[in-house]
């Protein structure tokens, strides 16, 4: 007879993240202190310090945990039915799954965004976290994030998702119709820009080819004149 294995106790890291999210849902990010996080998590300050250097690092760890949950659900690769879908549909699916993971922490997310609107430095730091996160979401959808074009894709995806989250926070419909419509519009716009970006990336190569032909032309003409002579 098989016996159920007891669930593993949450780690100090997990306890700290959960405590931070609870506090964040109650107050502004700038009002959440490390001592409060340790107290809510039932940890000593030394235990919290062993895991995190600041509340911003705790936020980044939360985002990373959401990344991992989405990637686990996708199996880490584009496969199954979604493997046959266009990139836009794959990314739509990935981003909706991300919103599902964020749903239990909706008020904490709202609090972070409100603080970012008041604090440009925090907004910049959060953007860096979001760009790293969206690189993984794009890869999960089978979209390359390598090179300069990939970096621009990740930044665009971060901005797009932030706008969608703004709609999602106030979307009370069970089916999230407003959220899905905003995401669909955003992805359609991003698809057009990515095509335009591809044309721009191809332009320098084409210009280099033109310059090479122009450089060869005087030499070719000189050889032709020598043959005639």
Q: What is the C-alpha to C-alpha distance for residues 72 and 31, in angstroms, rounded to an integer?
A: 33
Q: What is the C-alpha to C-alpha distance for residues 93 and 141, in angstroms, rounded to an integer?
A: 8
Terminal Cα distance for the chain, rounded: 100
Asked whether the predicted pLDDT for residue 185 surpasses 70, the reply is: yes
Q: What is the C-alpha to C-alpha distance for residues 221 and 218, in angstroms, rounded to an integer?
A: 5
* Crossing angle between the packed helical segments 177-228 and 87-102, to the nearest 10 degrees: 140
* Residue among 71, 40, 69 at smallest CA distance from 55: 40
More confident residue, 144 or 218: 144
Which range is most confident: 80-84, 102-106, 225-229? 102-106
| Per-residue pLDDT at 190 | 86
Looking at the chain, the whole-number percentage of residues with pLDDT higher than 70 is 77
Q: What is the C-alpha to C-alpha distance for residues 51 and 66, in angstroms, rounded to an integer?
A: 18
213, 218, 229 from 224: Cα distances, Å: 16, 10, 9
Tens of pLDDT, residues 26-54: 999 999 999 999 999 999 999 999 999 99
Task: Enter the tokens of residue 75.
Answer: 């199996």
| Per-residue pLDDT at 192 | 84
Asked whether the predicted pLDDT for residue 114 surpasses 60, the reply is: yes
The structural domains of the chain, with segments of one domain joined by +, span 77-200
Tens of pLDDT, residues 150-159: 999 999 999 9
């Amino acid at each position: 007879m098989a016996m159920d294995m007891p669930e593993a106790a949450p780690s100090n890291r997990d306890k700290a993240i959960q405590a931070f999210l609870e506090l964040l849902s109650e107050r502004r990010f700038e009002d959440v202190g490390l001592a409060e996080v340790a107290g809510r998590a039932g940890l000593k300050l030394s235990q919290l310090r062993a895991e995190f250097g600041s509340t911003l690092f705790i936020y980044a760890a939360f985002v990373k945990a959401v990344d991992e949950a989405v990637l686990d659900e996708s199996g880490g690769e584009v496969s199954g039915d979604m493997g046959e879908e266009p990139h836009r549909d794959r990314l739509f699916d990935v981003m909706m799954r991300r919103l599902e993971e964020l749903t239990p922490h909706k008020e904490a997310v709202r609090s972070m965004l409100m603080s970012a609107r008041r604090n440009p430095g925090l907004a910049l730091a959060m953007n860096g976290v979001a760009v790293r996160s969206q690189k993984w979401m794009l890869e999960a959808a089978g979209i390359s994030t390598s090179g300069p074009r990939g970096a621009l894709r990740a930044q665009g995806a971060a901005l797009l998702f932030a706008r969608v989250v703004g709609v999602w926070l106030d979307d009370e419909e069970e089916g999230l119709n407003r959220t899905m419509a905003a995401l669909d519009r955003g992805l359609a716009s991003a698809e057009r820009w990515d095509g335009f970006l591809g044309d721009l990336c191809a332009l320098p190569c084409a210009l280099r080819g033109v310059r090479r032909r122009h450089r060869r032309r005087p030499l070719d003409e000189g050889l032709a004149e020598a043959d005639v002579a």
